[in-house]
Amino acid sequence: MLLKKKRSRELLLIYLFLLPAFAVFMIYRIIPLGWNLVLSFQEWKAVGPNEWIGLSNYTKMFKDEVFWKSMTNTVIYFAVGSPIAIVLAIFIAIFVNQPLRGRNVYRALIFIPYPITPIAIGIIWQWLYNERFGLINYILRSIGIVDEGIPFLQSFQWALPAVILTSIWQVVGFFFILVLTGLQSIPSELYEAAIIDGASSRNRFFRITLPLIRSTIFICFIVGIINSFTLFDLIYVMTGGGPGHSTEILITYIYMNAFSFGKMGYAASITVILFLFLLLITYVMNRVSGGEAGGMEIYE
Amino acid sequence: MSRWSLKRPLWPHLFLLPFTLVMVIPLYWVFKTSLTGEILYTYPPSLIPKNPHLFYYIDVYYWIPFLRYLWNSLFVSVIVVVSNIVINSMAGFSLRHSFPGKKLVILIFLSCMLIPFQTTIIPAFLITKQLHLIDTYLGLAFPLLTTIINIFIFKSAFDAIPKSLIDAAKIDGMPEWRILFRIFLPLSKPAIATNIILTFLWSWNSFIWPLVIIRDRNMQTLPLGLARFLSYFEPSSGPLYAFTILVIAPVIVVFLHNQKSFISSMISGALKG
């Protein structure tokens, strides 16, 4: 009897302790997700009740050129930006994984941009890209590649690559640390055995290293997804989505529609597409990496 | 012994040195400009600041209510950090025990992780408005009050605490909730450090959320103030870069002082994420 009472008090405490976390997730994750879906079928009115308009937002979206432009740019970011950063990170990690002098210095300095406020990064790089007094144009002029500075962020051709490069610069140090951790968990016996068997260094990389850091690469992609939202901050200060929407991505377009134009319903429908898109990438990456990475470890 | 462990090769430096320079020079250049204001008009640009002065840093105080922004950012970050330690350790404590519905709770938490905050930002804004939290500190902090990754970081730290220790405390008649504060938390310092570092960074660097819910100039956080400041200035002026340095300095100083726990925090944040 006493034991039972004790157990029920313990249970009460357990549920009570879960409650605050649950409440916050309810208010800021679960309810918004549902509400967002509802909003996407409505036209939002600042005053008075919203109007149900069925799939109009979606049909409008599929005809909207700017939506497609921002979708394409988002895909480019994931398909080009992340892989470049990951390949670069693997290279550096392999170099640093040697018995080098100054390993820790490299580790720290390459990592340092990652935790820095993205807005500050945007301001710094906006200036590096500046046509007249930017460091990059100075270097290009000095070595004679160009005569006149290139206005990178004002150019249709260069603005998107310039922003993506900045985001690679910020995230590559973290990918590098993740890959380095992955490399260090590979038992050195594997390499010794391979060397004895006469495997070339190329084969050792493709047959041992790469397969064994597969889940690390998956994690890098996931971090890339999370990081793609800091891309909003970069674009906000560097180009504002311009010139002519050439650096518009889904999240900046959502922000513009919802908070500059007050088209909450339309913005909500784009958000639904963004959400599905991110879910799809996560799923595909999880399958490619063998499906054992990420959240499932915690479940055990 | 692997065969390359005896000699220290030089060739990786040929690749690593220029790469590291690319990572560091932008930051150094901003720092230099904040001290001298010299832009690339001066040919050739010098690597070492000539006649450094703090004039631009003082300028920042005249241009904007810097201390107010600093206070806003700090205060919100403190709310976020403290509430994360409390709420997450409580949730982690619950998840260490077995109870009916545990699997469901974990499942819900894990699926919440698949919902990036930015994909819920419109309703989150509307809810905050309903709660009358626009332009408030609590409104700024609310979405970050607890973070799933950090709950699991606490859970795995608590899982590692031997059961015998808890049983001993129970036999001594210590109530359950005190076990959390007296035994679990003191034994989970790395988990606490990870919570502090990750949530401080997220709060300090956060931009889109303050941008959405702050209308009042006096409630702006540092990143918001920095973005506004940019619109007043030519991209070549000293005060802008002094301000930039003031915003990033805390992060860099904290990082350089606690490199190890900083990096391992970010790794565990990613691995659990």
User: What is the predicted pLDDT for the residue at B2?
Assistant: 46
User: What is the predicted pLDDT for the residue at B239?
Assistant: 84
Residue of B nearest to A38 (CA): B123
Q: Which residues of B touch A265 (CB under 8 A)?
A: none
Work out the pLDDT band at B205, boundaries 50, 70, 90: very high
Name the amino acid, one letter, at B121. Answer: I
How many other β-carbons are positioned within 10 Å of the β-carbon of residue B149?
21
Q: Is residue B24 part of a domain?
A: no
**DSSP H/E element including A212:** helix A210-212
User: What is the predicted pLDDT for the residue at B89?
Assistant: 93
Q: Which residues of B touch A21 (CB under 8 A)?
A: 87-88, 90-91, 146, 151
User: How distant is the Cα of A116 from the closest Cα of chain B, in angstroms?
Assistant: 6
Is pLDDT at B78 greater than 60 in this prediction?
yes
Q: Is residue B160 part of a domain?
A: yes
Q: Is residue B238 part of a domain?
A: no
Q: Is residue B215 part of a domain?
A: yes
Domains and CATH numbers, chain A: 82-242 (1.10.3720.10)
Contact with chain B for residue A274, Cβ under 8 A: yes
pLDDT, tens digit (0-9, with 9 covering 90-100), for B176-190 = 778 888 888 888 888
User: What is the predicted pLDDT for the residue at A227?
Assistant: 76
List the CATH number of the domain containing B128. Answer: 1.10.3720.10
Asked if the ipTM is above 0.85, the reply is yes
Count the domains in chain B.
1
A124–B30 C-beta distance less than 8 A: yes
Beta-carbon contacts below 8 Å between A and B: 280
Average pLDDT taken over every residue of chain A: 86
pLDDT, tens digit (0-9, with 9 covering 90-100), for A68-124 = 999 999 999 888 988 999 999 999 998 888 878 888 888 889 999 999 999 999 999
pLDDT, tens digit (0-9, with 9 covering 90-100), for B230-251 = 877 665 578 888 899 999 998 9
Give strand ranges (E) for chain A. 42-43, 51-52
Q: Which residues of A touch B263 (CB under 8 A)?
A: 107, 111, 177
Q: Is residue B81 part of a domain?
A: yes
Q: Is residue B59 part of a domain?
A: no
Closest CA to B33 of A238, A119, A152, A124: A124
User: What is the predicted pLDDT for the residue at A298?
Assistant: 37
Backbone angles phi, psi at A220, to 5 degrees: -60, -45
Interface of A with B in 92-111 (CB under 8 A): 92, 95-96, 98-101, 106-111
- Tell me how far the alpha carbon of residue B235 is from its chain's centroid: 27
**pTM to 2 decimal places:** 0.88
Alpha helical stretches, state H, chain B:
11-36, 55-63, 66-96, 102-113, 121-130, 137-141, 148-159, 163-171, 176-179, 189-205, 208-213, 222-232, 238-257, 259-271
Contact residues for B16 (Cβ-Cβ < 8 A; gap 6+)? A92, A95, A96, A100, A106
Backbone angles phi, psi at B174, to 5 degrees: -75, 130
Give the pair of three-digit tokens for residue A207. Answer: 């047959």
pLDDT, tens digit (0-9, with 9 covering 90-100), for B3-35 = 444 456 777 888 889 999 999 989 998 888 888
Which residue segment(s) compose the domain that B152 sits in? 74-221
Region B135-153: what's the mean pLDDT?
Answer: 92
Give the pair of three-digit tokens for residue B68. Answer: 């107010």
Mutation target to probe the B interface, by most B beta carbons within 10 A, among A123, A215, A266 is: A123
A299–B120 C-beta distance less than 8 A: no
Mutation target to probe the B interface, by most B beta carbons within 10 A, among A12, A124, A126 is: A124
Closest in B25, B122, B151 to A264, CB measured:
B122
Do residues A10 and B176 make contact, with C-beta atoms less than 8 angstroms apart?
A: yes
Which stretches of chain A drop beneath a pLDDT of 50?
Answer: 293-300
Q: Which residues of A touch B211 (CB under 8 A)?
A: 236, 255
Q: Is residue B270 part of a domain?
A: no
User: What share of chain B has pLDDT > 70, as a percent?
Assistant: 92
| Exposed / middle / buried, residue B52 (Cβ in 10 Å: 0-12, 13-18, 19+) | middle
Q: Is residue B63 part of a domain?
A: no
Contact with chain B for residue A154, Cβ under 8 A: no
SS3 assignment, position B187: coil
A36–B270 C-beta distance less than 8 A: no
User: What is the predicted pLDDT for the residue at A98?
Assistant: 81
